[in-house]
Amino acid sequence: MAVLPVQPRTGALSPADAAAITQEIRDSARKTLAPYGIEVIDAGGDVAGVLKDGAAAALFGRAAQMEGATVVAVGVYKPGSNAPAGLARLVGIGIAQLRDDARAKVPKLVATALGLTAPTPEPQQEQGTLRIPGGRPQASDVRPQEKAPEPSPPAPASPPTTPPANEDPLVTLIREVTADVEQLRGLKRKQNLKIMILDDKLFSRAVHERAQKELTPAIVAAERARWTAFDLAPPGADPAKILLDVLDEQVAGFYDPFTKQLIVRKTVPDSAGGVELRIVLAHEIEHALQDQNFGIADVKSLPDDDVRLARTALYEGDAMAVMTAYGARHAHKPVKAAIAAGAAILRAVDAETLLRISGKSPELLKAPAILREELVLPYAAGFALVAEVYRRGGFPLIDRMFKNPPVSSHQVLHPETYFAGEAPLALPMPLAPPGTRVVASGRMGELGSRIALEVCVDKSVVKDFAPRWLGDAYVVAEGPNRALTLLWTSAWSGEAAAHVANLLQLEQPCWEEAGQTAPSKSGSRGIVTALAHGAIDLDAALSRQLALRPQLPQPAPPLGDLPPPPVVGPARIEAGHFVSPRLALEGTVPDGYQPDQGNPVAELSIRRANDGQAALSFVPEPLAGDALETFFDAASSQIATAQGGHLVFAGATQHKLAGAAAEERSWTMQGNRGTVRIDVAPFCDGKAAITLLRFESGEGATAALQRFADSIKSTGPAAACADLE
């Protein structure tokens, strides 16, 4: 049997991890087949090639990143058939879990695929509904227009129950996760939770059917008109097709608010110990609890695009917080710190970077920016908003958000405006010109407005104005020969309105490049900016739009007058000295080293061009023993991937870092390109750790960065330690 290297999709596995899981698969196959006299060999090329060269079978795997976990589909191929004779899915978060899954599944895979042992039939699970007992059924569903019921108080942990005899392990797993999420989140089921387990084909069909319920012909037509009018996508781009292609990434399950069911793919790993599947299920089970306790609004019932996006951000942000808390508790890590750190990581990178590092499909990366950004915002910015609420009052305060949810992407992107209750201006929809009919109308919100302005203007310019968004309204109308007209009114704080009007004048060349030759005109008056584009009376349209004199509504804090949390500023460098208020650390920055903005997750990052760099970071969990070695392995693999080279282990030693005993590992970069050092020291009385990563390209950098490391010292209690339970 020939074993080929695992082929990772972009971002799914580092080269080192791909090599490690390939070796694990090879070793497992070799141990299984050795008693039968079957030789296992390394091979390159492709399956067809090795089979043509005489191999009796080929073992080949592909890796992808799905819902935060890595999935490696491993198949056994025989001559004369393009379909695999056997298939297994290895799933794990990190290389250690992938190795464990390979050791558990590869022996059975190769033995049954080669006919050495009889296949073990999977327990049959009929399509249908499993009812998990919950509270008493309610007389009617909660509707978004009705007052949301008071959530149940946090429930004590339920005693473990023995599952029914011969119960499918996947059903047992769902039952366990549901009970755990109820206890963790403090929400109880109001009625039985319905679950449908489907095979791959039926699951894919269910995904598409749910999407089509939301993507009605009217909604798709309006979205296509918005994309075209604002030049957000190439002419002819089909929002429905693009979104359905993206939804094919669904791998484990989802909650369907239309049928009130949790839909789960049967072929996901059914091991009750699979933490990666548990975390995904926790996310979707939380959606079911949201629906039963607060109601999930039909998106078609919400007034405009921006409100729909903000409402989705609440539901997804809460589910992200729950799955993060569940994963932390399952790993015996501090929940509060895990939520804060998880949200900070997602908030620190832009949507495109986030999609690339998460290993999502090329379909999503190729999708128009408006679709990418609107898909990412609920999970990233929504999580950040919910995490900020959690920081101030835990899950009970998050419950109150469902009574007064965010009403704009501006509130989601800037949590302080949500807490202050700064509602957007309710600008009226522009009047469609005579002889035209409205095909789309709504509000772009801060997010959509930023993307629209970025079509023909550099992002660095737009980012200065986008946060000053106060409100907007647009109408896309269709005239003779299906020509589109765009009327867009927006309001901006300070002096931004006039600047935005100038930016809009730069859009005309981009419209012309896209084949829209109709003229456009923009202007501003006070805080209002107006844009008119199309074969219409532009002056008359602008005059009507600029006649508005909107008044900002009075703030109404949705969660009441909450005491503001302590403000802890970011690390700063002044006159060659750095101070970190959050970690209560300070030190001396070497001459010539400047702040490095390319590492937003680090507490402090410095570098000198073509010489060296260093990053000081906080890890909200203890690192010792196996956890410490795993950290060193993961960090060095990531560095090797980022640098596009290979690291050779150089040694281990001990130093002092911020007055504590630190473990250090060092590596040399292949080709004498420099040295990598990572120091890890306990922090917060051993409840957490700090790390110092150094990349040194020469002796001068080594000496300078060692002085930097030696200078780091504590100035007192660290604010970051307060987030650790």
DSSP bridge partners of 531: 488, 522
The SS3 call for residue 150 is coil
The pLDDT of residue 449 is 97
C-alpha distances out from residue 462 to 305, 370, 391, 427, 455, Å:
21, 15, 31, 22, 10
The token duo for 695 is 């990349």
The token duo for 26 is 């090879």
DSSP one-letter code for 118: P
DSSP one-letter code for 554: P
Question: Sign of the CA dihedral 705, 706, 711, 714?
Answer: positive
Q: Nearest CA to 295 among 149, 135, 137?
A: 149
Q: Nearest CA to 100 among 338, 343, 271?
A: 271
d(Cα 477, Cα 475) in Å, to the nearest integer?
6
Q: Nearest CA to 614 among 713, 717, 721, 710?
A: 710
d(Cα 425, Cα 534) in Å, to the nearest integer?
26
CB 491 within 8 A of CB 527: yes
DSSP one-letter code for 187: -
Give the CA count within 13 Å in the CB-facing half-sphere of 575: 0
Environment class of residue 458 by beta-carbon count within 10 Å: exposed (0-12), middle (13-18) or buried (19+)? Answer: exposed
The token duo for 31 is 């141990």
- Give the position of tokens 């999502």: 360
Quickly list H helices, 581-649.
626-643
The pLDDT of residue 139 is 33
Q: Where are the beta strands (DSSP E) in 367-497?
A: 437-442, 469-478, 484-492
CB 474 within 8 A of CB 444: yes
DSSP one-letter code for 295: -
The pLDDT of residue 107 is 94
Q: Which amino acid is at 405?
A: P
Q: Nearest CA to 240 among 218, 265, 262, 271?
A: 218
d(Cα 222, Cα 229) in Å, to the nearest integer?
10
End-to-end CA separation in angstroms for the chain: 51
Long-range contacts made by residues 545-548, C-beta under 8 angstroms, separation at least 24?
545/430, 545/487, 545/489, 548/427, 548/428, 548/489
CB 249 within 8 A of CB 361: yes
d(Cα 596, Cα 606) in Å, to the nearest integer?
5
Question: Which residue positions in the chain have pLDDT lower than 70?
Answer: 10-11, 65-69, 93, 120-166, 245-251, 267-275, 353-363, 642-644, 672, 725
* Angular region, 494: left φ>0, alpha ψ -120 to 50, beta rest: left
d(Cα 390, Cα 126) in Å, to the nearest integer?
40
Label the pairing between strands 58-66 and 69-77: antiparallel
What's the whole-model pTM score?
0.72
Long-range contacts made by residues 514-523, C-beta under 8 angstroms, separation at least 24?
514/231, 514/234, 514/235, 515/235, 516/228, 516/231, 516/484, 518/483, 518/485
**How many CB atoms sit inside 10 A of residue 146's CB?**
10
Q: Which residues neighbour 385 within 8 Å (Cβ) at sequence distance 6 or greater? A: 313, 314, 317, 406, 411, 412, 415, 418
The pLDDT of residue 64 is 75
The token duo for 619 is 């890890």
Q: Nearest CA to 195 among 214, 175, 181?
A: 175
Q: Over the stretch 378-402, which tens digit does the pLDDT of each residue have?
A: 999 999 999 999 999 999 999 999 9
Question: Sign of the CA dihedral 201, 202, 207, 213?
Answer: positive
Instruction: Kindly list the structural domains of the chain, giving each domain's residue range(s) and its CATH number in brackets, ordered by start.
Output: 2-113 (3.40.50), 122-130+166-296 (no CATH), 437-546 (no CATH), 572-723 (3.40.1000.10)
Environment class of residue 460 by beta-carbon count within 10 Å: exposed (0-12), middle (13-18) or buried (19+)? Answer: exposed
Burial string for 288-303 (b: 16+ CB within 10 Å, else e) reads bbbbbbbbbbebeebe
Give φ, ψ of 263 to 5 degrees: -100, 120
